[in-house]
Structure formats: C-alpha cells, structure tokens
Structure 1
Amino acid sequence: MTTQDELRPTLTTEAGAPVADNQNTETAGIGGPALIQDQTLFEKLAHFNRERIPERVVHARGAAAYGTFTLTADVSAYTRAAFLSEVGKQTETFLRFSTVAGNLGSADAVRDPRGWALKFYTEEGNYDLVGNNTPVFFIKDAIKFPDFIHTQKRDPYTGSQEADNVWDFWGLSPESTHQVTWLFGDRGIPASYRHMNGYGSHTYQWQNEAGEYFWVKYHFKTDQGIKNLPVDEANKLAGEDPDSHQRDLRTSIENGDFPTWTVQVQIMPAADAANYRFNPFDLTKVWPHADYPPIEIGKLELNRNPDNVFAEVEQSIFSPGHFVPGIGPSPDKMLQGRLFAYADAHRYRVGINADHLPVNRPHATEARTNSRDGHLYDGRHGRSKNYEPNSFGGAVETGRPLWAAVPVNGLTGNHEAPSHSEDNDFVQAGNLYRLFSEDEKARLIANLSGFIAKVSADREDIVERAINNFRQADADYGQRLEDAVRELRKQK
C-alpha cells in the first residue's frame, strides 16, 4: 500500500539533496555539541539570517495586487503609447499601496499620505506611474527631499518622531501648506486602500505620432467611494489591527469583490504651459478642473493577490524613469530627482538584477540589454555579445526617442522654479480650506492644533511660524488654529 507521506515531495537542501532529518540537529553523541558537518542546520540558519532585505527608506509599509487596465476612450490624438492605442485594449498591471513615513512594522491606519505605485506591463516595456493618494506634495524640489523625510523619521538623539522637527521644517517651508492642509483634513486617514483616490501627482508628457506633445496629470477615482477614518477610530484600529488596510485589500480580492478605479487625465497643450497662471510643473499645485477638465480614459481593476508577499511586494521595484514610447517626463524638479533616486534605491535595496525578478520584468515583451553579471545574475544572455554596435546579430537601437524634446534656454545654475502670475505658496491651500464644510474645518483645526501643541514649550517661534503659514492661506484658518493651539498649550 502507498502511504500519504509517500505521495508527498521529498524535502531537499538548496542544492537538491534529500533531507533525512529535519527535526534533530546532528550531534557528537546523545546530548553532545552540534557538528559543523550538519549542513542542513547551517544552511537553514544562514538563509534565515539573510531572509530580509533593507526596507524602503520611505513607503516601507505596503500591500499590492495584480490587475488590468482597460482603455475606454480614444487618446491617440495625444499619445502614441501602444497600451493606449485602441479602445477596449487591456494591459496587465501591478499596484502597490503604501504609507510614507512608517517603517515595515508600523500600522496602516495612521495619518500619512499613501503611495500609489502602478506598473503597466505593456508590449513596449514596463511603464511605472509612481504617485500618491494626494494630487500635491510637501515640497517642489528634490534637493529638499532627504531633509523633509528626516523630519518625519526618528530624531537621531531621541529615537522618536519629534513635533519640533516636523513643524520647524514645515514652518520654514511655506510651500508645504497646501499638502499639510490635505494631510490633516478628513482624507488624511483613508478607511482602506480601496476607498481612496490615486494620483500621478507630477506632470508628465504625452507625445502623439505626429510629434506633438502635451502635458498631462493622472487621476484614479475610486469606484468604491471615498471613506475615511475619524482620529479616535483610527487610533483604536492601529493598535488592535495594524494590518487593517492590507487585510482589507487581500480579503476583498479573495472574495471576488474586485476594487476598481475610473482613470482620468487632465491634458494641457504644450503651448499653454509658459503663460498658465500656476507653474504647471510645481508639485505643490493642482491644475483647477475648471481650467483643464478631467477626461475619462479607462478603468483599473485589481483582481489577483500576490502569492508571496516577500517575492512580489517587498522585492517589487518602481521607478518614474520607466517610460514607454509616447510618454515622458516634465521639467517638474521633484520628478527630475525621482528619475534617479527611485531606480538607485532599488539597485541598493534589492540588487542590480532586481529587474530580472518575475514581478519586475516585462510580462508582455522581452528585455534585451547588454548589461551582464552582478549579484544573482542568471546567465540568461548565454553566449550573446555584451556590446553594441556588433556584427553578431545583437539588438539595435531604434533611433526614435521615447518622448519629445522640449526647448531650454539660459545659463546653468541653481535656479528656483519659474514663478507664474498666480504662484505663491498659500493660494491653493486657502482655496482648499474654503471648500471644506464647517464640520470639516473643525476637524482640520483639531487635527493640526493637537500636533502643533506638542512643540516644546520653549520653542514658540516654531509654533508661530507654523501658524503664520496657515494664516496667510486664509485669515480665518490661521485665527482658529492660533486660538486652538493657545488653549491646548495652556493645558500642558
């Protein structure tokens, strides 16, 4: 008779040799010391010690799923990207959601922007759209990004996030006022990943077959409806179920309740950019919908969970520099810095051959490069030559740039971004505040004042700078905030 165990596969070592005993270490006699010749033991312990890779410096905490993007409108007048070429065309996707500041072991239900990293597996290569659940950001120049993130992370002396650091930086960086208003409003703590919008945030370029180019912004509007968590409920959930967002996404897909988003774009003719009332490449600004109404172009659905979180979520890599023909960058100074920083972070974190992993490599085409060797190189290129040009049948260049060249002029130097007619750091923050209902304003003031009040008692200068930014956005905003902070600091 055949036993159940005889039908099961044999456990082996990494080299494929069968394991005789996986319960007991080989020792020098009964009760004696372990023997170094027990290679199963040492192989298991050595691998266990190396099971983790460095977590992402930002966006460490996340969850992801596979899905499909379906094009529902003809956009061929604006872009020659193949995956956007035909109404009804479907493209496989992989979407990773994340919090920004927390580490890998932090909770989901916290006040923080949510990352929105979307990979399209197109027939022309992978296109990565890396944004957030907010249409704007705290800063407009990548040179300030490490400083900003340092204020959100643990202080080098105390080992904790410090209100002094957060508000010192934000108070000295008035451009952050718009995003801070978003963050401390009701949408600062989404109820789940399914119940929030996503945005490309940056401005990108689309180029059509005729060579004309346009500036675009992406919007992903949740079809589940916007749902957010009140502070007290979020605090309770974060303590009782720190994996709440990850679990919600996974179980909804397991149950066949596939989340969807309606995909929209704002399109600006290239000629409009120079004289638009706001700098269209400033990440702290939106394009008001009255100026450039969003156009619906597709539907995004998530319908398959990863089989292994480490292999497919932790080792997934995204870079805003992963473009396809017909899509390219803009002069957005934050985007320009991210074109380098994201890819470089993954070269360090996952390795130089991270793009060979199944989740990262192209699914609808084949990558053909002359890059060879490095950690975990799999020898896929065989005997082919590793240089170009060559006369041995190697891959050749197309001679056609992926996106349109844009005119530049002036002297090199450390320049501020150009200012447009209505540019300042406060106008859109004030507009956003005035859109809120009275209840929303009250919650915003409570959220902000509770955090500002934590600034050290001897640093009233930090408090005043912070409040003054909101005062410049809207007089009522600033006054209500000042009154609330003063009352809370009296109680300390």
Structure 2
Amino acid sequence: MLRPWILLVVTVVAMVVAEVIDPAAQQILLFKQKTEGPIGIMTTSSGAPVEYSDARVTLNKRLIFNEYFMDSLTHLVRERIPERLVHAKAGGAFGYFEVTHDITHICKAKFLSGIGKKTPVAARFSPVVVERGGIDTSRDARGYAVKFYTEEGNFDIVGFSTPMYVYKDPLLFSTFVRAQKRNPATNLIDPNMLWDFLTLIPESLHMFLLIFSDRGIPDGYRHMPGFGIHTYQVENKDGEIHFVRFHFTPEAGVRNLFTEEARKINAVDPDYATRDLYREIGKGNYPAWKVDIQVLSLDDVKNAGFDVFDVTKTLPLNKYPLIPVGRYVLNKNPVNYFAEIEQLAYNPANLVPGISGGPDKVFEARRLAYRDAQYYRLGANFNRIPVNCPINTVVRPYNRDGSQPLNDNQKDIPNYYPNSYNGPVAYKDRNKVELIEIYQDPPNNFDQATELYINELGKEERDRLVANILDSIGPAAKFLKERAVKLFKLIHPDLGYRIESGLASNRTKSYYDYDYY
C-alpha cells in the first residue's frame, strides 16, 4: 500500500498551480516578479543589438543577412556537450562546510584548521546508470560528490550512496559500466548482461545487496547518505600519517522508497529527487549533513586482519567508530543548471596538502579516468570554467592556450618551469610524506555480505530484498539464475534457497525458455 505522505507528495507535484509558492515549479514566474520589465536590449553573441523585425520574421528576406537567425541556428546544433558516461543525470547545489571538531592532530589540511572555519562547497548527487533524461527513482547506486573550495585549492570527494564499491581491480571498470548500459544490438537494458557481470565478479554482490535492499532507492537527495568509499591517507603538520574514511549523514535522517512507491512517483514525476532538492532549498529548508571520519593508525592497518583499502569492503564501525569533523549545508540553488551543475567537474586527484588520497588501485585509476572524462567533455581548460575554479586561492599554473575558456591565459608570465625570469616557484615541505605502497590480495568480501544479510537487514527488509532480486533476475537466462543461486547460498543458505524457490514458483517469468549455453 502506498504511504499517505507519498500520496500527498504525488498530488502536490501533479497540480498545475500550487497555492503555496514552489521555487522549483514557479522559478520563471519568480524571475518575472523580481525584474521590472525587460532587463535590456537583446544582442547577438558578438554583442550587436538585435532589431525587432530581424527577431520576429524571416519570410521573404535573405536568411544569411539576418545575423540573429544565423547566430541562433548555428549555436543551437552545438548546444549539447557529451553527457557523462555514468552519473549523467544529477541534482546539485552550493553551500558551506563548517568545522565542528578539531582533528588537526590527524590532518593538517587548512580547511580543517579551526573549529568554526567555513569553506564553500558544491555538491552533486546522481544515479549511476540512467541517462540524462532518465528517472530519479531508479533502483541504482548514487554518486555523492562534494567539492571543497579550500584556500589550498579544490578538494574533491567523489563518493557513493553506499559505503562500499563494486570491484577491487580497476581493470573491471569498463566491464561494469557496459554490463549495466544498453545492449549494443537491441539498445535495451539487458538483465542478462547485468547478471552475467554480477555472477562472474562475485565481490560485486556486497554492494548490490544494498542496491536490491530498501536502500537502493533514496527518498530524494536530502535524505541520502554519502561515503568516500576509499581509505584516504592523511598527514598532520609533523608528517605523522593516519588513514580515514569519510561519512556524510543527512541531519534530516536517512529515508528510502519501496519499489512500488518509486514506480508510482516515477509515473508522475521522473525528476522527483532533483525537484525536491531545488524546491526545499528555494523555500529555505536547507539540507545539511554531518561529516564524520573513521580513523586508523598505521598499526591499525597492519593488524586489521583484512585489506582496509579494499573498496568492496566496509570498515566495521564497532572497531573503527565515527569521529565527528563538521557539517555541511546546501543553501544556494544553481542560477543556471548547465553552467553550474552540468559543467561541474570532479576529480579524485583534486587533493590538498595533508590529504594524499587512497593507495588502492581503484583510486589510482580514478585519478586518470575522471581527468580524462573532463578533458573529453569540457576541454583542456575545464578548471577555468567558473564553477570549477579554485576560488579561494590564486592559481598560477604553467599551462597555456588550448580550447576555451582561457580567461587571461596567465597574461605575460613565463610559460615553462624552471625559468630564470621570476615565474611561479614550487614550495618546500620539510615534512612531506609519500603515499604508502600496498599489496592487495584477491577480492573476498563474502563474510561482510553475510554480515549485511544477517545483522543489518530486518525480516521485512530481507523479504523485500528477495523480491527485488527476483524482479531483476527474472528475465535473465537460466544458467545465470543457477549461477546466482549458488553465490547467494554462499552468502547465506537462507538467501540462496529463497531466491531459488522464488525463481521456481513462477513469481517471475523468464523471457527465455531456452538456454544456448
């Protein structure tokens, strides 16, 4: 049965005119209210004023001489940049991070240097698989990215809504993405592809147990937690190293949608989460998240008994409890979505002194992949796009030229280093610490998947988990179902037998009554 509050939300969204001002639904009306008449004379992109008749009619006139027409038409077909391969659709906003607890004995990063210190942030939340025109209520992991505009440059945490990731070896990235995307022949999402990946790469099942559980569809972004997924190396001013995982917990509470609720919402509002975030910020109901870390010493790492840098695993909270750091608040909507959210570019390599990143191979691969993705989508100077600029520090790179935007292109400063002509110089850190090198065993996280099933999910949650798995795997080929059942039995016999029984009971009908394999 649909929860009463969901019915209320759906009804409000479906209304054409709301009695209460809705910043998301009435943005363009609000713009009209705050401006007195036209804001000025329209121009072409070169700044020439546009005469009224040129802007209203072209019939019986020479088109090529109408610069407004030529400017508009030739720009229109160039208005789309490549969308992100994953995380294509998103909501986002801006705000600030505030330090509430002193951790300078762990990390020397300046934006963490004093209680009460505030740093501007930009956050972006996104389903992983759906395209830009997709739905907000898909059963999927979510990207959870936060950019801190610190005085030492930008620091980006590019995390997820789950505390673990899919695979341990970055070689699997392209396989994972393609298996979830559209079949190259049919152009349809294909359960055979997804379940082939999940059953060939069983470490992925730990994360997908969460995705198929109640936590697989967050109730909007304001109620969605975030996790850095990597175990970061950090250093204090004396060069002493620790290792941390970042946690973001919504102060409004974690809330999720059941499958049927999500389907009903999608029928009337596919942009549910994006709308909710924009509307509530516009109304002054600013969402906030607590920022905590789990902390390990070098001895903790050596004596943990498992690979603490394995992104497919979590760090047990009873062994490494959360330590509060601060909170961040989103209090400003984007003024222009394309300029500020679509062009918002994150990169795990955006680190600051005191935070060295993760020593694991997935982090190393992401340093390359994210940078390359931004070059492809936004060009070589993507960090000069205003939303990506390190606004709290003076930027003096030796990079020059390339595709727009260039801004002043570093004016007349020398363009090579080292030089004898007073160009920028590198700073010296007497306590500089290198990122440690680690050896990583083959992935094995079945014990944590078992722990999740037994101790983190209640009886009704386990019921819904089984139902959601059956919905997904039902159309897949017989041999994939058999392979999946064996793996689920390894996680826990109860889970495996329930999946096996559900598949045998015609609750889910396979589209394939034959098996080529």
TM-score bucket (shorter structure)? over 0.9
Alignment partner of 1:275 is 2:286: no
| CA gap 1:163/1:10 in 2 versus in 1, 3 angstroms | same
| 2:63 pairs with 1:35 | yes
Q: Are the structure 2 counterparts of residues 231 and 5 from structure 1 closer, same or farther at C-alpha, using a change threshold of 3 Å?
A: closer
Equivalence for 1:187? 215
Q: For residues 433 and 194 of structure 2, what CA distance do their matches in structure 1 show?
A: 39
Partner Cα distance (2:509, 2:239) in 1 = 63
Return the alpha-carbon distance in structure 2 between the equivalents of residues 135 and 402 of structure 1: 32
Moved more, 33-42 or 113-122: 33-42
Alpha-carbon spacing, 1:401–1:51, altered in 2? closer, same or farther (3 Å): farther
Distance 1:365 1:108, change over 3 A: same
Higher mean Cα deviation, 231-240 or 315-324?
Answer: 231-240
> 1:395–1:402: structure 2 CA closer, same or farther, 3 Å change rule?
farther
Rounded to whole Å, the distance in 2 between the matches of 1:352 and 1:161 is 33
Please report the TM-score for the alignment, with normalisation by the length of structure 1: 0.93
Within 2, Cα distance between the matches of 1:318 and 1:7?
37
- What amino acid is the match of 2:447? V
Task: Give a deviation string over 1:385-404, Cα, whole Å, max 9, x none.
Answer: 11112222211001339962
Contact 1:450–1:485 (8 Å) recurs in 2: no
Residue 448 of structure 1 is matched in structure 2 by 469
What one-letter code is carried by the residue in structure 1 that aligns with 2:416? Y
Which of 24, 44, 64 is equivalent to 2:56? 24
Residue 239 (structure 1) aligned with residue 260 (structure 2)? no
Q: Taking every aligned residue pair, what percent have the same amino acid on both sides? A: 40
The correspondence of residues 62-211 of structure 1 with structure 2, limited to 5 A, is 62-211=90-239
Deviation at 1:471, TM superposition (A): 1.1
TM-score, normalized by length of structure 2? 0.88
State the alpha-carbon separation in 1 of the partners of residues 176 and 485 from structure 2: 19
Cα distance in 1 between the residues matched to 2:72 and 2:359: 50
Answering whether residue 434 of structure 2 is matched by residue 405 of structure 1, we say yes
Aligned with 2:417 (options 346, 363, 388)? 388
Would the aligned equivalents of 2:239 and 2:431 in 1 still touch at CA under 8 Å? no
Within-5 A mapping of 1:223-234:
223-234=251-262
Aligned length: 473
Does residue 430 in structure 1 map to residue 462 in structure 2?
no
The structural deviation recorded for 1:406 is 4.3
Shift of 1:425: 2.9
Shift of 1:133: 0.7
1:9 has 2:27 as partner? no
Residue in 1 aligned with 2:440?
A: 417
| C-alpha distance 400-290 of structure 1, shift in aligned 2 (>3 A) | same
Distance 2:320 2:67 in 1: 65
Counterpart secondary structure, 2:426 = coil
Instruction: Give the Cα separation in 1 of the matches to 2:82 and 2:99.
Output: 37
Tell whether 2:341 aligns with 1:313. yes
Tell me which amino acid in the other structure corresponds to 1:17: A
1:473 aligns with 2:473: no
Q: Work out whether residues 373 and 379 of structure 1, in 8 Å CA contact, stay in contact via their aligned partners in 2.
A: no
8 Å Cα contact 1:167-1:462 kept in structure 2 = yes
1:302 aligns with 2:330: yes
Change over 3 Å in CA distance of 1:159–1:127 after alignment to 2: same
The alignment partner of 1:76 has SS state of: coil
Give the Cα separation in 1 of the matches to 2:170 and 2:264. Answer: 35
The offset of 1:449, in angstroms, is 1.1
Could you tell me how far apart the structure 2 residues matched to 1:265 and 1:240 are? 39
The answer on whether the counterparts of 2:233 and 2:435 sit within 8 Å (CA) in structure 1 is no
Letter in 2 for 1:452: I
Q: List aligned pairs for 1:260-271, cutoff 5 A.
A: 260-271=288-299
- Structure 2 vs 1, CA of residues 41 and 5 (structure 1 numbering), >3 Å: closer, same or farther? farther
SS of structure 1 residue aligned to 2:88: coil
The alignment partner of 1:118 has SS state of: strand
Paired residue type of 1:259:
P
Alpha-carbon distance in 2 for matches of 1:425, 1:224: 31
Q: Secondary structure at the match of 2:195?
A: helix
1:31-60 per-residue CA deviation (whole Å, 9 max, x = no partner) reads 536431222111111111111111000000
Amino acid at match of 2:460: D
Change (3 A) 1:36 1:401: farther
Distance 1:482 1:210 in 2: 57
Structure 1 residue 379: Cα displacement: 2.9
Alpha carbons 2:241, 2:297 under 8 Å: kept: yes
Residue equivalent to 2:27: none
Which among 369, 377, 383 is matched to residue 355 of structure 1? 383
SS at match of 1:295: strand
Q: Which residue of 2 aligns with 1:248?
A: 276
Q: CA RMSD in A?
A: 1.9
Matched position secondary structure for 1:194: helix
Distance 2:315 2:330 in 1: 28
How far apart, CA to CA, are the structure 1 residues paired with 2:436 and 2:217? 41
Q: 1:471 to 1:401 in 2, by over 3 A?
A: farther
Deviations 1:363-394 (A, max 9, x none): 21121101000111233311111111222221
Name the SS of the counterpart of 1:36 in structure 2.
helix
1:476 is displaced (CA, Å) by 0.8
User: Following TM superposition, by how much is the alpha carbon of 1:73 offset from its aligned partner in structure 2, in angstroms?
Assistant: 0.8
Question: Which digits, 9 at most, give the CA deviation of each residue in 1:339-361, with x for residues without a partner?
Answer: 11001100110111111111100
Distance in 1, Cα, partners of 2:114 & 2:422: 33
What's the secondary structure of 1:126's corresponding residue? strand
Q: How is 1:279-294 mapped onto 2 (pairs within 5 angstroms)?
A: 279-294=307-322
